[in-house]
Amino acid sequence: MSARPDKAEFARRLEEEFDGRRRKALAMGGPEKLEKRRQAGVLDARSRIDRLFDPGTFRESGLFSTSIHSPEDEERSPADGKVTGFGRIEGRWAATVSNDFTVFGASSGTTNVRKIAHMKRVATQRGMPMVFLGESSGARMPDTMGARGMGLGLGNDPTQYQRMRETPWAAAVLGMCYGSSFLYTCCSDFRVMRKGAVMAVSSPRLIELATNEKVTPEELGGWQVHTDTTGLIDLAVDTDEEAIDAIRRFLSYLPSHHREAPPEQAVPAGSGEAMRDILDLLPSGRTQVYDMRRIVAAIADRDSVFELKARYGKVLVTALARLGGKTVGFIANNPYFKGGVLDADAADKAVSFMVLCDSFNIPLVLLVDTPGFVIGAEAERRKATGKIVNFMNALQLLTVPKLSVIIRKTFGQAYLNMGGGRNSDEVAAWPTAEVSFMTPQFAVTIVHGLRPGDPGFEERLAEMDKANSAYEIARTYAVQNVIRPQATRDYLVEMLDIHSLKLTGGVGQHLMRAWPTSY
């Protein structure tokens, strides 16, 4: 009969095995690969997690997981290339998937897709945000090759890319993002990208093999493509650290889940001081341009404005901010670009933002100064008509409070899309506001057959201008208040309180929570 080890020896062996396996898992792809990343100024998967979460709060799930494809792969696949777990962000729990490119290029395999599914499931069921730190090469070969590989590996989770927006999702594109990294990024509510990273369906190499097309990674899916052209990326930054800090900031405006109101913060000192001189930001000439972002910043709590998609659909500003310490969303026309004429990109941008705000109980403030929607053959080819209707449909599906302030002009259908005609809970106007079916100059030509320079044109134009005033529309009660520009911030703070969702604890109906994430 063999001698049994004493308790001390037994405990020592257990500890030794545990420490050895733990060291191997934490070593990721090995010192050479990690050093190469450090020299390039790029964080590794675990350093990214350290940046994301409050110090000492990360609790890993799946540290000892590996590839199960072959015995050789087991030794070479610590954590199976995706580090997952839970941690606190400003004291609130969140779940994460951080792709480890040093292990098989963070490719998707049998084990790590189970890890992702577990993180999503727990985040959804327990009410916490989900953060994807993306960098992956796509599906792992040969795990998914052949009919057997496809049958066992892909499509076994029918909700893999389903978004019902129970909790906020945020994603960072931090390297080559193919496969699951681009898929989960496009499913997310906030998407930030490090310059130099790439997001695409397939790599340039595969594209050349399949189509003979030669394209650089940046031309295919670089940051300028996705911030300027596709609008899929909300913010581009220079470093991994800035990207992760942006995720932390984004989540600070949102509740942990859709059944609670957004968190409140103390109002910073000096908030509202710029309101005294706000008229200095508005040119005296009706056709002169100005940057609406300066008016948004003046109205909001100091340093609280967090703009999304700033390089896409520039004629419209979409930004999270705080008013009186409470999270709000701003949708504002920006005459600085194309005079503020709304186009197809701006409509897509507005809808995306309204879906975010309604899904997570964020009231909306619309600041209005637009001559209308762009017209013409190119606009129709860009599906402007359909996108205008999408914009209008989304606005009417909103169940969070929505307030409109007409700063200067609003003509035609854009009057409705920007909250007029009872499409906001309250509509206010500055005395500088003009409201009509079309631009007064065009109206004189259409109604009276006169063109600029014709006798009587200026007289008719003056009549049209008078009929378009804020006080005229206030007479019909389509505008509930004409307010002094300097009082705008106080007016909005008070009206948001009046229209707050008191009966439901600040929670809306979320009628748009299943709206497509990317279109």
DSSP 296-358: HHHHSSTT--EEESTTSSTTEEEEEEEETTEEEEEEEE-TTTGGG-B-HHHHHHHHHHHHHHH
Instruction: Give ranges for CATH 3.90.226.10 in the chain.
Output: 16-252, 273-433+469-504
**What stretch of H or E contains 149?**
helix 146-153
Here the tokens at position 252 are 């600070």
Q: What class is the 273-433+469-504 domain? A: alpha beta
- Can you tell me the distance from the alpha carbon of 295 to that of 406, in angstroms, rounded to the nearest whole number? 13
- Can you tell me the distance from the alpha carbon of 451 to that of 204, in angstroms, rounded to the nearest whole number? 55
- Can you tell me the distance from the alpha carbon of 151 to that of 146, in angstroms, rounded to the nearest whole number? 9
Crossing angle of helices 110-126 and 146-153, in 10° steps, is: 20
Which 8-state DSSP code applies to residue 274? G
Can you name the CATH fold of 16-252? Answer: 2-enoyl-CoA Hydratase; Chain A, domain 1 (3.90.226)
Q: Report pLDDT for 152.
A: 63
One pLDDT digit (tens) per residue for the chain, 519 residues: 555 668 999 999 999 999 999 999 999 999 999 999 999 999 999 999 999 999 999 999 999 999 887 778 888 999 999 999 999 999 999 999 999 999 988 888 888 889 999 999 999 999 999 999 999 987 776 666 666 666 666 666 777 778 999 999 999 999 999 888 899 999 999 999 999 999 998 888 888 778 888 889 899 999 999 999 999 999 999 999 999 999 999 999 999 999 999 999 999 999 999 999 999 999 988 789 999 999 999 999 999 999 999 999 999 999 999 999 999 999 999 999 999 999 999 999 999 999 999 999 999 999 999 998 988 898 899 898 999 999 999 999 999 999 999 999 999 899 999 999 899 999 999 999 999 866 666 555 556 676 887 787 777 777 666 688 999 999 999 999 999 999 999 999 999 999 999 999 999 999 999 999 876
**What stretch of H or E contains 369?**
strand 364-370
- Can you tell me the distance from the alpha carbon of 103 to that of 502, in angstroms, rounded to the nearest whole number? 50
Q: Report pLDDT for 75.
A: 85
Nearest alpha carbon to residue 169 among 61, 44, 84, 258: 258
Nearest alpha carbon to residue 139 among 96, 203, 61: 203
Q: Report pLDDT for 208.
A: 77
Residue 367 contacts residue 403 (beta carbons within 8 Å): no
Q: Count Cβ neighbours within 10 Å for each residue of 155-179 and write b for 16 or more, e otherwise.
A: eeeeebeebebbbbbbbbbbbbbbb
Instruction: Name the one residue in this structure whose structure tokens are 């000492």.
Output: 56
Residue 173 contacts residue 192 (beta carbons within 8 Å): yes
Q: Report pLDDT for 375.
A: 81
Residues 6+ apart with CB under 8 A from 40: none
Q: Report pLDDT for 137.
A: 86
- pTM of the prediction? 0.92
Residue 26 DSSP SS3:
helix
- Entry field: residues in the chain: 519
Residue 139 contacts residue 122 (beta carbons within 8 Å): no
Q: What are phi and psi of 303, to 5 degrees?
A: 60, 25
- Can you tell me the distance from the alpha carbon of 62 to that of 50, in angstroms, rounded to the nearest whole number? 17
Q: Report pLDDT for 130.
A: 98
Q: Report pLDDT for 2.
A: 57
- Which residue(s) pair with 84 in the sheet? 97
Q: Report pLDDT for 109.
A: 84
